[in-house]
Copies of this chain bind each other. A is one copy, B any other.
Amino acid sequence: MNHRIDEMLEPGSKIGILGGGQLGRMLAVAATRLGFKSHIFEPAKNSPASQVSFQVSTASYEDEKALIEFAKDVDVITYEFENIPTSALDILEKIVPIRPGRDALRISQDRIIEKDFLSDLGLKTAPYQLVEDLSSLQTASKNIGLPAILKTTRLGYDGKGQVRLSENSNLEEEYRKLENHSLVYEGFVDFEFEVSVIAARNLSGQVACYDPGQNIHVNGILHTTTVPSQLNSKQTIDAVLIASKILESLNYIGVLGVELFHTKAGLIVNEIAPRVHNSGHWTQNGCSIDQFEQHIRAITGWPLGDGKRHTNVVMENLIGDEIKRAATLALDGNISLHLYGKNDIKPGRKMGHFNLVREK
């Protein structure tokens, strides 16, 4: 192996996946469907992805030897999460292509860089300002106003690493909860609902988007995604064009998730994720080619699916104890279950999801 690929990878080639969670698991299954083999790199033992992969490297991202062996074994590397240590990427990239590329990772690893990037593209974001100390928090609060959200610029997800600020908040107290991190102050966006666009671009520059899905979050974690969304056809096109602009500007290869707020003033980009996305799980039961296969196709130089949706779908996450609903949900013939094979139930932990399918 160990060669740069510029063309379509043949079935039988090996896809390296950084991260062994549920996204890695579903990527591994999709790779298999196209006749590829999967090799998971993941520090934890018995990860969800390891249960369905051809091969597993159980090692830390600091383990240079393991990283080199992994990279030499595979034909292309992708990932299921954006917070991969830069040092690991530096090692891997010398041996085999990483897709999506480093630019997308650099941008999405830091909320400030991401928002600067989006603004430079002429896309709307929430008003934001870097917070380096208590005094700059107070300035931001004056400039942008309250309510607002204070977030770590790096490593936050599923509502972690952020506090909400209102007129009644004690700014100093809230600041203490997150100090020692680089922070961003984000102004409140009065949005009517949130949608996300799952878009893809492949090695030849072909772009395809799925229908925007409408998201509902509970306690900062995605609860449901519904297709079709409430966007009208003009707004749907706007959403797709935003995603496409981001893909093109990055020469992006792979699936990208773009979260958008629908406001009275138009669409505002909330955040982007350079990977398959929880809000795209509905494609497993709504499309001939789902987001996982779409991602594998994109990074292996295969043609993309056209993203056409053949059914209406509501995707719902099963968080923590909700996994216990599985047996009851299985009674409904319109429900397709996807459980992640996680051993321990923990509050807030994504244990599975299901797609409720309705004919269009």
Q: Is the CB of B310 within 8 A of A331?
A: no
Given contacts A330-B297, A357-B288, contact A337 B51 (CB under 8 A): no
Please provide the chain A residues from 307 to 351 with a CB less than 8 Å away from any CB of chain B in the complex. 307-308, 310-311, 323, 326-327, 330-331, 333-341, 343
CB of A35 within 8 Å of the partner chain: yes
CA distance A52 to B285 in the complex (A): 21
CB of A147 within 8 Å of the partner chain: no
Q: Is the CB of B8 within 8 A of A341?
A: no
Copies in the complex: 2
Q: Is the CB of A12 within 8 A of B52?
A: no
Q: Is the CB of B51 within 8 A of A288?
A: no
Q: Is the CB of B357 within 8 A of A11?
A: no
CA distance A287 to B343 in the complex (A): 29
CB of A117 within 8 Å of the partner chain: no
Q: Which residues of B contact A341 (CB under 8 A)?
A: 11-12, 32, 35-37
Q: Which residues of B contact A245 (CB under 8 A)?
A: none
Q: Is the CB of A333 within 8 A of B311?
A: no
Partner of A288, one of B37, B310, B335: B335
CA distance A114 to B343 in the complex (A): 43
CB of A100 within 8 Å of the partner chain: no
Q: Is the CB of B333 within 8 A of A305?
A: yes
Q: Is the CB of A306 within 8 A of B333?
A: yes
Q: How many residues of A contact B (CB 8 A)?
A: 48
- For A302, give the chain B residue with the smallest CB separation: B330
- For A53, give the chain B residue with the smallest CB separation: B52
CA distance A54 to B51 in the complex (A): 5
Question: What string of 1s and 0s marks CB contacts (under 8 Å) between A22-57 and chain B?
Answer: 000100110011111100000000000001111000
CA distance A101 to B67 in the complex (A): 47
Residues in chain A within 8 A of chain B (CB atoms): 8, 11-12, 25, 28-29, 32-37, 51-54, 285, 288-289, 297, 302-303, 305-308, 310-311, 323, 326-327, 330-331, 333-341, 343, 352, 355, 357, 359-360
Query: 29 A–B contact pairs at CB < 8 A?
Result: A8-B327, A11-B323, A11-B326, A11-B339, A12-B341, A28-B52, A29-B32, A29-B52, A32-B52, A32-B341, A34-B337, A34-B339, A35-B339, A35-B341, A35-B352, A36-B341, A52-B52, A52-B53, A288-B334, A288-B336, A288-B355, A288-B357, A297-B330, A302-B330, A303-B330, A303-B331, A305-B333, A308-B333, A310-B359
